[in-house]
Structure 1
């Protein structure tokens, strides 16, 4: 894929959370259909609509510009990212539709490779690619609209964690910083490949394992960064302590952040979280990684403390770089405290 296509892709290209909140707060509430269990006013990862006592469908969509040069790899990452919201709700993928913006005058073989990458991930998820929509545009964008199913009584909401719950993160942080550095030639090939492998990995496997345990809440870490999504998990009635040294990160991202190779999206996230976070002796690089927008990031699970070690061990046995990264507490003056421990 031509470098001109990779201007600032992945979840770093998304509108800031503060802007979206301002817009959504002005929209009228939709309370006319009792079967809409989760809508846009919930700040959750996907919409949920109840069909029967045992089945609800989960709907989401996500698309963005490229963050890597290889079109097939970009398609895989974009699809994995879009599918992730189904898993963040505890759901199972069923169908997907392509969303494509592509310049008609360009090499259509590139578009074919992007869509091939997306198809492979939909198949891996156990879903069916059923169609899509395309637009002739000057810039490349790709993603999916995805429908899944979930038991209405077993939905993973993002803000239903309980004081005492342990927080488990299933993927490393820092891919936004790494991809940004790679575009200007400041990240080596091995570092970029490690980030790409993480972004291509479906959250299906972590979700499947988590269903054996008492999960109280879940979200996936994407464009709002670890701290932005964590703040949404806390809502207005909870706080948490984060253990900075326990958080899985790409070590190269720390060195890049120390060189101020950081993202504009990360600064938007810092502004959004604002006064809701207190850092205690946390290095600058780690702060930036916690604000860094993640493309196809991991699941952040709030699990009953007594089951946390067992869940963590099973995730690790499945090859995931998971870790217990914090604990939910009763509401304090500040929503999130990040300690260097």
Structure 2
């Protein structure tokens, strides 16, 4: 069992924060209200992607051959092992570059730590975990910023490059597109089980393997003309991020619950009531835009809204490109990649069948 012992001189990382991973995100409804007070953005001809469609990263065209992708992501601990926390946070941050169809080139570390609570060794372990992932991605952590914080926070500001014509916005999906999901779901459920000390070693390893797997297929998929849109599934859950694609593209998304891939043990934990508070907040923010089959119960709804940390890519592609998309995922080591739905020109923004 992953029952890390907490002592006065070595507290559990997850005990130092009120939330963990992408479950820390401000609920989509609240975030939308906050952003509504932002002044209208000035037009910039070189800004290919801004915040108008809640896309994964900003994109700025440098020249005819290169566009700069810029993003930032950070959160509080989802696990108690410092090294694993650093790895997960870095993987999650780089995912936004891949989700735009780009390749990371550099990162800056964002560090907030309770200096008088955590040991220097633990803080160093977090930084080492992040650096290890960036090394795996073939990029440097070229600097950053640190503060003494009440809660431990770690993440990256990440930059990447892509050809301007290969950028995959979440607003460019087309009617008739097939939806392919790259990773299995349920990270939020497993993280909740970890916090309750009921997650076994196999479940923990499954969660770590998923959350530290770089979404490298994105850089390859970005070059395919048959791939029209990509996003990554993180804190707003599968429903929330599918809704963003449907709304931005002016389409209706249909998901099939029976086709969704789940990490081992997730459904059993959910039936036992092991869910996160973020799943309820996610549902409250999107309920008016989602139509669920009557065969889907409250537990299934919670699973659909489960916040993912460092989740998989959600790809909208032409039917004739599906085989190649799945082959790319599988060749990059994403064995759970699966077809989960499609996009239509009419209907509810998101509809989920049993």
Once residues 353 and 43 of structure 2 are traced to their aligned partners in structure 1, the CA distance between those partners, rounded to angstroms, is: 44
| Distance of 1:2 and 1:166 partners within structure 2 | 46
How far the C-alpha of 1:307 sits from its partner, in A, is 1.4
Question: What SS does structure 1 have at the residue aligned with 2:220?
Answer: helix
Q: CA deviation at 1:109?
A: 1.2
Alignment-derived partner of residue 16 in structure 1: 27
Map of 1:326 onto structure 2: 341
In the alignment, structure 2 segments of 5+ residues that lack a partner are: 1-9
Which residue number in structure 2 is paired with residue 62 of structure 1?
Answer: 73
2:52 alignment partner, SS class: helix
Q: Is residue 12–residue 265 contact of structure 1 (8 Å, CA) maintained in 2?
A: yes
Normalised by the length of structure 1, the TM-score is 0.95
Work out whether 1:288 is the aligned partner of 2:299: no
2:184 to 164, 172, 194: 172
Q: Which consecutive residues of structure 1, in runs of 5 or more, have no partner in the other structure?
A: none
> CA offset at residue 210 of structure 1?
5.7
Residue 312 of structure 1: aligned partner: 326
Of 29-38 and 55-64, deviating more is 29-38
Q: Which residue of 2 aligns with 1:111?
A: 123
Query: Residue 24 of structure 1 contacts residue 41 of structure 1 at CA under 8 Å; is this kept in 2?
Result: no
Q: Deviations over 1:207-262 (max 9, x none)?
A: 42563451100100001110000001001621021111111112411111111111
For residues 102-123 of structure 1, the C-alpha deviation after alignment (integer angstroms, 9 at most, x for no partner) is 1222311111110111011111
Report what 1:139 is aligned to: 151
Q: Determine if contact 1:164/1:305 at 8 Å carries over to the other structure.
A: yes
Matching residue within 215, 219, 233 for 2:245: 233
2:314 to 300, 316, 340: 300
Report if aligned partners of 1:75, 1:142 keep a CA contact under 8 Å in 2: yes
Q: Distance in 2 between matches of 1:203 and 1:317?
A: 12
Q: Which runs of 4+ in 1 moved over 4 A?
A: none
TM-score by length of 2: 0.92
Other structure's SS at 1:42 match: coil
SS in 1 for 2:146: strand
Which residue of the partner structure matches residue 280 of structure 2?
267
Determine if contact 2:46/2:62 at 8 Å carries over to the other structure.
yes
Query: Which residue does 2:140 correspond to in 1?
Result: 128
Kindly state the Cα deviation for residue 309 of structure 1 after the two structures are TM-superposed: 2.3
* 1:77–1:199 CA contact under 8 A, matched in 2: yes
C-alpha distance in structure 2 between counterparts of 1:159 and 1:268, whole Å? 24
Q: CA deviation at 1:187?
A: 2.0
Q: Distance in 1 between matches of 2:167 and 2:328?
A: 21
The reply to whether residue 2 of structure 1 matches residue 11 of structure 2 is yes
> 1:140-289, aligned counterparts within 5 Å?
140-208=152-220, 211-212=223-224, 214-235=226-247, 237-280=250-293, 281-289=295-303
Going from structure 1 to structure 2, the CA distance change for 1:245 and 1:210 (only over 3 Å counts) comes to: farther
Measure how far apart 1:310 and its partner are: 2.9
Q: Which residue pairs with 1:50 in the alignment?
A: 61
